[in-house]
A and B are shown apart, each in its own frame.
Chain A
Amino acid sequence: GAGVSQSPSNKVTEKGKDVELRCDPISGHTALYWYRQSLGQGLEFLIYFQGNSAPDKSGLPSDRFSAERTGGSVSTLTIQRTQQEDSAVYLCASSLVGYSNQPQHFGDGTRLSIL
């Protein structure tokens, strides 16, 4: 596609439910990143994929968070047993090659609200 695509754009769910967020990176981009942005705050790095593998998962806030990437393309971020503090905008970005001189291209984000 022309840019990074994220879905859904908005998600409202009850506390305790599981949610799955999807990111479709730019075609040909091998690197994919997930971030979380709380209202009026900067970006919190969550995880980075080079191809299908994530070298370091320590940025994930808790064991309720998991992420996977298949086929070197689409990635999903799953939050289990959601809590109110999980409410934020979840941003996905991709770049041609991870951590090189290439800037990251960001999607429009998924705005997650936990009631």
Chain B
Amino acid sequence: ELKVEQNPLFLSMQEGKNYTIYCNYSTTSDRLYWYRQDPGKSLESLFVLLSNGAVKQEGRLMASLDTKARLSTLHITAAVHDLSATYFCAVEGNNNDMRFGAGTRLTVKP
């Protein structure tokens, strides 16, 4: 069964600092997604990573995928308050399913 683990689950950062969120998964997959969820809101797609070595950047966020290590990272550069949200990674399984990590609740403090 496909399992997806994110860490950390909670992250409190100072504005201007850098940090990385990790997403590990248990079985072979080359489709990984990152989503953002604001409190009381639904999920918003951030990145779609489709191959080993894929790297995508949008603003202060950069996501990468290593399919051999079964690891994706979401790197935050020079954090700002607007990035405060919960971030989820999701991995496609081989059985027409999609498994989400538990989420990383990010708080950026002034």
A81–B42 Cα distance when bound, in Å, is 27
B92 at the interface (CB under 8 A from A): yes
Residues of A within 8 A of B50 (CB): 101
Contact between chains at B41 and A108 (CB < 8 Å):
yes
Q: Is the CB of B88 within 8 A of A42?
A: yes
Most chain B CB neighbours (cut-off 10 Å) among A33, A106, A109: A106
B48 touches A48 (CB 8 A): no
B48–A102 contact, CB under 8 A?
yes
Chain B residues in 8 Å Cβ range of A99:
31, 92, 96, 98
Binds A, one of B13-21, B59-67, B71-79, B99-107: B99-107
Q: How far is the CB of A39 from chain B (nearest CB, A)?
A: 12
Q: Given A41-B102, A42-B88, A42-B102, does the pair A105, B45 have CB atoms closer than 8 Å?
A: yes
CB closest chain-A residue, reference B99: A45
Contacts A55-B96, A99-B92: A104 and B45 contacting too (C-beta < 8 A)? yes
Distance in Å: Cβ of A29 to nearest Cβ of chain B:
13
Check if A91 is an interface residue, CB within 8 A of chain B: yes
In the bound assembly, the distance between CA atoms of A44 and B1 in angstroms comes to 14
**Which B residues are closer than 8 A to A by beta carbons?**
31, 33, 35, 41-45, 48, 50, 88, 90, 92, 95-103
Q: 9 extra interchain contacts, Cβ-Cβ under 8 A, other than A43-B90, A48-B96?
A: A42-B88, A43-B43, A45-B97, A45-B100, A56-B96, A99-B31, A99-B96, A103-B48, A104-B33
